[in-house]
Amino acid sequence: MQNIIIGQYVPGQSFIHKLDPRAKLITAFLFVIIVFLANNWITYALLGAFTLLAIFVSRLPLRYIYNGLKPILLVIILTFLLHVFLTKEGPLLFDWGFLEIYEGGVKQGVFISLRLLFLIMITSLLTLTTTPIDITVGIETLLGPMKKVGLPVHEFALMMSIALRFIPTLLEETEKIMKAQSARGAQFSSGPIKERLKSIVPLLVPLFVSAFKRAEDLAMAMEARGYRGGEGRTSIRLLKWSGKDTTLFVILLLLCISLLLLRS
Amino acid sequence: MDITIKGLEHSYSKGTPFERKALSNINLSIPSGTFQTIIGHTGSGKSTLIQHLNGLLKPTQGSIQIGDFKIQAGVKEKRLKALRKHVGIVFQYPEHQLFEETIEKDILFGPLNFGVPEEEAKKRAARLIQQVGLDESYLSRSPFDLSGGQMRRVAIAGVLAMKPSILILDEPTAGLDPRGRREIMDLFYRLHEEEGLTTILVTHSMEDAARFSDDILIMEKGGIALQGGPETIFSNPEALKKLSLDVPETVQFIHRLEERFTKNLPHSVFTLEAAVDAALSILQKGEENS
């Protein structure tokens, strides 16, 4: 339960923590795009340097980054192996009968795995250094112009913040129900697979019941306090663009230009 | 089964920035058949402590001995399920654990998990549903059609159906009306007496603590602040006040009677009836004197 990193904010006072969430969101978004510009060793090295620098500046314990990577590690390894064995380019490196490894394959494998690695690292850095509420406010302001074309931006943002807000609550609830059922002899973490699958029902039913009840209560409480959607609603959190954010954009721009110049 | 806790310590989320020490250096022994009450403010570590007693939480330091089961920091106990059969926990708001289509099936969940034959388990369910104050016609109904108080009773029956020899109650009457509270607590006490259970009650109610306990444990900030029989604990209101806890109303009443009439009264007066008797004895003596 405790390894789940999505939406898990780690408090801190670093440069990255203090950035405007809009700046971080745009950076993460642009980074996802410019990652695809890299196509040789030097450009990948640049991206790697940017990622490592960001992690270093955030002063997060490396363990957190690693925890975020763990679930995706298998995918990365699998991608690597697929490329190594299936890409047939460049000089032949090994030949064990039916298994042939080409230099192009290894290169491709390393590049694609690095690409995935950088993507995951930068996006988890975003959620690790920004509170869910800040992310939501950021998204809401960034998507603000879309309101004009009738997109219910506020409602989306609200849904997101409620969902994020209730992740820990639901986890806590899950843990509580698991404990109550374990005390009645249910087995969640040991025993034969069949038993463990069956034990999902005593966990899910109470969880759903309480989630629905909670949703109803929340809706009622919001209405009781006069909530009526986004119309004319202002936010208590005012985002402030500072020099730091501009610095980040300059760095990003430099990175982008270097990538364009250095790619082959 | 005797319970012996030695040097117990527990930290949540160990090894993360969210690490929080919930218990430190707890030493406690609860002989078989005791009614042990645990009192303390929210966050004092009561719930954490009781969850160690059937291996739901593992100690980060120290050990817990229950009968011949031993749970030790860093050692994996393989017989947890067997242990849980002996230690029943009624959690806070136990109605949140209901999940089956019918009340009977829900009550059977525990016993069947622990290998009780279905016939026997059904017999237990039929008896227990009456003991908790509902009648047998409820057995075939859905637990989700009941009122909150009734759901609580069904959930409690579900734990009792396991026939534990140690019964742990984590604020079992929170959110019930006064009558429901009394009925449920009386049921637990009757079971405690009749079946010779070891009962561990976590509560905020000084009245319940005074009425039922053989021994009271007061926790603060993850440690033991005070421990002793109800007479000892409640004869020292200053110590309780320091922990911002109250003495039961009956005890307060007796103390004030003593002050007012400068007479010594027995300090083991915890029920309303006994308090009335004590007051009457003063009045009668007063009449005799005049």
Decide if A206 and B98 are in contact by the 8 Å CB cutoff: yes
Other Cβ atoms within 10 Å of A81 Cβ, number = 13
pLDDT over threshold 80, residue B195: yes
CB contact at 8 A, A179 and B51: yes
Strand spans (E) along chain A: 92-96, 99-102
How would DSSP label each residue in A89-102?
-SSEEEEETTEEEE
Q: What are phi and psi of B142, to 5 degrees?
A: -80, 135
- Give the tens place of pLDDT for each residue, A255-264: 999 999 988 7
Residue closest to A183 by CA, chosen among B225, B114, B78, B199: B114
Distance from CA of B108 to the nearest CA of A (A): 10
Residues of A in contact with B159 (CB under 8 A): 183-184
A189 Cβ under 8 Å from any chain B Cβ: no
Q: How far is the C-alpha of A101 from the C-alpha of A108, rounded, in Å?
A: 12
Residues of B in contact with A173 (CB under 8 A): 96
Q: How far is CA A72 from CA A63, A119, A125, A190, B208, in A?
A: 15, 11, 15, 24, 53
Interface test with A, best of B19, B101, B113 (most A CBs within 10 A): B113
Q: How far is the C-alpha of A78 from the C-alpha of A76, rounded, in Å?
A: 5
| Beta carbons within 8 Å of B148's beta carbon, 6+ residues apart | B95, B175
pLDDT score recorded for residue A1: 44
| Beta carbons within 8 Å of A100's beta carbon, 6+ residues apart | A88, A92, A94
pLDDT over threshold 80, residue A196: no
Strand arrangement, sheet containing B35-40: B87-90, B166-170, B198-203, B35-40, B215-220, B223-228
- Percent of chain A at pLDDT exceeding 70: 97
Q: How far is the C-alpha of A203 from the C-alpha of A178, rounded, in Å?
A: 6
Decide if A2 and B13 are in contact by the 8 Å CB cutoff: yes
pLDDT over threshold 80, residue B262: no
Report for A118-122, B264-268, B271-275: range of highest mean pLDDT: A118-122
pLDDT score recorded for residue B252: 83
pLDDT over threshold 80, residue B14: no
pLDDT score recorded for residue A93: 78
How would DSSP label each residue in A8-42?
------SHHHHS-HHHHHHHHHHHHHHGGG--SHH
Amino acid at B157: A
Decide if B159 and A183 are in contact by the 8 Å CB cutoff: yes
Decide if A184 and B96 are in contact by the 8 Å CB cutoff: no
- ipTM value for the complex: 0.85
A145 Cβ under 8 Å from any chain B Cβ: no
The two tokens of residue A32 are 């996802």
| Beta carbons within 8 Å of A193's beta carbon, 6+ residues apart | none
Rounded CA Rg of chain B: 21
Distance from CA of B16 to the nearest CA of A (A): 9
A187 Cβ under 8 Å from any chain B Cβ: yes
User: Residue B223: enclosing H or E segment and its boundaries?
Assistant: strand B223-228
Strand arrangement, sheet containing B69-72: B20-30, B3-12, B61-66, B69-72
Mean pLDDT of B143-151: 91
Q: What are phi and psi of B90, to 5 degrees?
A: -95, 110
A170 Cβ under 8 Å from any chain B Cβ: no
Mean pLDDT of B118-146: 92
B109 Cβ under 8 Å from any chain A Cβ: yes
Using 50, 70 and 90 to split pLDDT, how confident is the model at A3?
very low
Interface test with B, best of A184, A189, A208, A210 (most B CBs within 10 A): A184
Residue closest to A117 by CA, chosen among A35, A2, A56: A35
Least confident of A76-90, A165-179, A218-232, B266-280: B266-280
Distance from CA of A78 to the nearest CA of B (A): 30
- Give the tens place of pLDDT for each residue, A215-248: 999 999 999 998 887 777 777 778 888 898 999 9
Decide if A185 and B85 are in contact by the 8 Å CB cutoff: yes
Domains along the sequence of chain B with CATH: 1-78+199-233 (3.40.50.300), 79-164 (3.40.50.300), 248-290 (no CATH)
Mean pLDDT of A206-215: 92
Mean pLDDT of A249-254: 92
- Give the tens place of pLDDT for each residue, A46-103: 999 999 999 999 888 888 888 778 888 888 999 998 888 888 777 877 777 777 788 8
The two tokens of residue A242 are 């500072």
The two tokens of residue A46 are 């640049």
Minimal-distance CA residue of chain B relative to A2: B13
A179 Cβ under 8 Å from any chain B Cβ: yes
Decide if A10 and B17 are in contact by the 8 Å CB cutoff: yes
B113 Cβ under 8 Å from any chain A Cβ: yes
Instruction: Please name the residue that has the structure tokens 């998204």.
Output: A139
Q: How many CB pairs under 8 A join A and B?
A: 61
A202 Cβ under 8 Å from any chain B Cβ: yes
CB contact at 8 A, B46 and B219: yes
Mean predicted lDDT score pLDDT of chain A: 86
Distance from CA of B272 to the nearest CA of A (A): 35
A200 Cβ under 8 Å from any chain B Cβ: no
Decide if B114 and A61 are in contact by the 8 Å CB cutoff: no
Report residue A80 CA to chain centroid gap. 21
- Give the tens place of pLDDT for each residue, A29-38: 999 999 988 8
Mean predicted lDDT score pLDDT of chain B: 88
Minimal-distance CA residue of chain B relative to A62: B16
Mean pLDDT of B97-121: 93
Residue closest to A110 by CA, chosen among A87, A141, A133: A87
Secondary-structure percent of chain B, ordered helix, strand, coil, rounded to 5: 45, 20, 30
Distance from CA of B72 to the nearest CA of A (A): 19
B137 Cβ under 8 Å from any chain A Cβ: no
- Do β-strands B166-170 and B87-90 pair in parallel, antiparallel, or remain unpaired? parallel
Provide the 8-state DSSP code for B244.
Answer: T
pLDDT score recorded for residue A5: 46
pLDDT score recorded for residue A51: 92
Decide if A176 and B159 are in contact by the 8 Å CB cutoff: no
Of B16, B84, B99, Cβ closest to residue A182: B84
